Amino acid sequence: MATWGMLSFQDSVSPLMEQLMFFHDHSMVVLVMITVLVFYFVSGILTNTFLNRFIVEGQEIEIFWTFIPAVLLIFIAFPSLRVLYLVEEVHCPDLTLSTVGHQWYWSYEYSDFIDIEFDSFMLPFEEGGFRLLDVDNRTVLPWGVFTRILITSSDVIHSWACMGLGVSMDAVPGRVNQVCFLINRPGLYYGQCSEICGANHSFMPIVIESVSVDAFLGWVSAFY
């Protein structure tokens, strides 16, 4: 969960988020190298007292400053494409969860089971929990299980986002989007709608309770 003064990412709880963090670190290294190099050249030009009146063009330097940026873009593009395909990959999920965005709450349905569906509303701060983050019905999911979530909306565009999982997917009326993730460990993971969807956009949080498979099956059996 994000806290005050946090400048970095939340702790990763899924392999997908780990890859996103690795790509971020890789990109930052490249950007810092470029920034340092540019400042070095600019400072060298500003402090240089020599002038050559006969230089009107420089084929070698033009080739250099065209080729080097192209190579740097390749170093960024290939890891970016790899992460992009990992985000979009959906392959034989073990569990399917359906969610529908409403103004302003989420409703969930466990598609692999019968009659397991509920609405999830934000809890008032007076009832405990974290302000603007806790809900009355948490989304219970087993950790270590490849999970697919089907996302849509009943009214306007919402976005189901949980940063610890590295998941953010738009909920579009009349369209079903899907995304997969694998939770690494048990715990409570918080998310929010990340698409401005109206007056109470800030009041439709997401809470995922990750439990063991046995505890999840025990929770499922309570509905029957």
- What DSSP string describes 3-26? -TT--SPPPP-SHHHHHHHHHHHH
CA dihedral 31, 32, 34, 40 (to 10 degrees): 160
Q: Please, are residues 184 and 143 in contact by the beta-carbon 8 Å criterion?
A: yes
**What is the third-level CATH fold of 15-88?**
Helix Hairpins (1.10.287)
CATH 1.10.287.90, the chain: domain bounds: 15-88
CB atoms inside a 10 Å sphere around CB 2: 12
**Beta 146-153 vs 95-102: how paired, if at all?**
parallel
Q: Please, are residues 200 and 132 in contact by the beta-carbon 8 Å criterion?
A: no
Q: What order of strands is seen across the sheet that includes strand 187-193? A: 139-142, 206-211, 187-193, 158-162, 167-171
Q: What is the pLDDT of residue 54?
A: 65
Which tokens sit at 53? Answer: 């009146």
Q: What is the pLDDT of residue 177?
A: 92
Q: What is the CATH number of domain 95-222?
A: 2.60.40.420
CATH 2.60.40.420, the chain: domain bounds: 95-222
More confident residue, 142 or 3: 142
Tell me the pTM.
Answer: 0.79
Which tokens sit at 205? Answer: 């949080």
- In angstroms, how far is the first alpha carbon of the chain from the final one? 33
Q: Give the model confidence (pLDDT) of 35-89 as tens digits.
A: 998 899 888 878 877 766 666 667 777 888 888 888 888 888 888 888 888 887 7
Sign of CA dihedral 7, 8, 12, 17: positive
Arithmetic mean of pLDDT, 194-203: 90
Q: What's CA 45's distance to the chain center, in Å?
A: 42
Q: What is the pLDDT of residue 127?
A: 63
Which tokens sit at 104? Answer: 């302003």
Q: What is the pLDDT of residue 108?
A: 94
Nearest to 197 by CA among 150, 153, 148, 135: 153
Sign of CA dihedral 60, 63, 69, 74: negative
- Integer Cα distance of 78 and 177 in angstroms: 25
Q: Give the model confidence (pLDDT) of 113-172 as tens digits.
A: 888 899 999 988 766 678 888 898 899 999 989 999 999 999 899 999 998 888 889 999
